[in-house]
C-alpha cells in the first residue's frame, strides 16, 4: 500500500508542497486535520461520544480520542474529510449537518517504535448531534478499538480540574469474532490523547451549545 501524502504548510499557514505521512511526522511539517465530536441527548442529559484508538496506531495507541478525526490527504478539503465519520463509525451524514466549533493549531510529540515524531496540525473542529445508540455504530477495526460516551457536563468538569475520574459506558470491538462487548469503566483525563486540556474544555463548552 502506498503511503498517504499530506499538503504541508509553513508556520504562517502558506502552502509549501506535499510530503508522505512518515516524513511529515519526522520533520514536523504543519498539515491539516478534521475533528468531529458527536453528542447525544438523553432524558438524563447530553452525552459526548469518544473513541478508543487501536493499540496498533502509530501515534497515541490505546488512548481515548475525538469521536472521529483524520488528516486531510493532499488535495482534500475539510468537506472531503467529513468522510471520516462514515469510515470510522459507519455514520453517513451531510457536511452541512456539522457545526463548526473552532480552528486550533496543535503541536504534539512522542515516539513511534522508538523513533521520535513531531505532529504539527491545523485542525478544524466540528460537532454533530446524533440520536444513535452506541451499538448502532459500525467501528473501523483498523482504527477504532471502542466507542464510549459520558455525561458532557461531567466531562467538562473533569477537564476543568473537578473530579479525577468519571464513569463512561462503551462498546469494545473484538476483531477475532466480530462481536462487541459492552463495558462500564472509570475514565480520567490522562487517558486521552495528550492535547492541552484547554482543547477539550473548549470543545465541550461549544458542544453544550449545539
Q: What is the pLDDT of residues 197-206, one digit of tens each?
A: 999 999 999 9
The pairing of strands 45-53 and 144-151 is antiparallel
For 42-62, the pLDDT digits (tens) are 999 999 999 999 998 877 899
User: How many domains is the chain built from?
Assistant: 1
Distance, in Å, from the CA atom of 138 to the CA atom of 89, rounded to the nearest integer, reads 5
Q: What is the CATH number of the domain that holds 110?
A: 3.90.79.10
Query: pLDDT band at 147, cuts 50/70/90?
Result: very high
Instruction: Identify the band that residue 1 occupies on the pLDDT scale cut at 50, 70 and 90.
Output: low
* DSSP code of residue 140: -
In terms of residue numbers, what domain contains 17? Answer: 5-208
d(CA 81, CA 112): 24
Of 36, 37, 49, 44, nearest to 133 by C-alpha is 49
Amino acid at each position: 500500500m502506498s503511503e498517504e501524502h499530506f499538503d504541508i504548510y509553513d508556520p504562517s499557514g502558506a502552502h509549501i508542497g506535499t510530503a508522505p505521512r512518515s516524513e511529515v511526522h519526522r520533520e514536523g511539517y504543519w498539515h491539516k486535520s478534521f475533528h468531529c465530536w458527536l453528542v447525544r441527548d438523553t432524558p438524563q442529559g447530553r452525552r459526548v461520544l469518544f473513541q478508543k484508538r487501536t493499540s496498533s496506531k502509530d501515534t497515541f495507541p490505546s488512548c481515548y480520542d475525538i469521536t472521529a478525526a483524520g488528516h486531510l490527504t493532499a488535495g482534500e478539503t475539510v468537506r472531503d474529510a467529513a468522510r471520516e465519520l462514515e469510515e470510522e463509525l459507519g455514520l453517513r451524514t451531510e457536511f452541512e449537518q456539522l457545526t463548526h466549533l473552532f480552528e486550533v493549531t496543535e503541536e504534539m510529540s512522542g515516539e513511534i517504535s522508538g523513533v521520535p515524531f513531531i505532529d504539527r496540525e491545523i485542525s478544524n473542529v466540528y460537532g454533530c448531534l446524533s440520536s444513535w445508540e452506541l451499538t448502532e455504530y459500525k467501528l473501523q477495526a483498523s482504527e477504532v478499538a471502542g466507542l464510549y460516551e459520558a455525561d458532557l457536563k461531567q466531562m467538562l468538569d473533569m477537564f476543568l480540574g473537578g473530579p479525577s475520574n468519571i464513569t463512561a459506558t462503551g462498546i469494545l470491538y473484538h476483531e477475532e469474532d466480530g462481536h462487541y462487548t459492552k463495558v462500564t469503566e472509570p475514565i480520567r483525563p490522562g487517558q486521552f490523547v495528550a492535547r492541552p486540556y484547554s482543547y477539550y474544555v473548549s470543545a465541550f463548552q461549544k458542544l453544550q451549545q449545539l
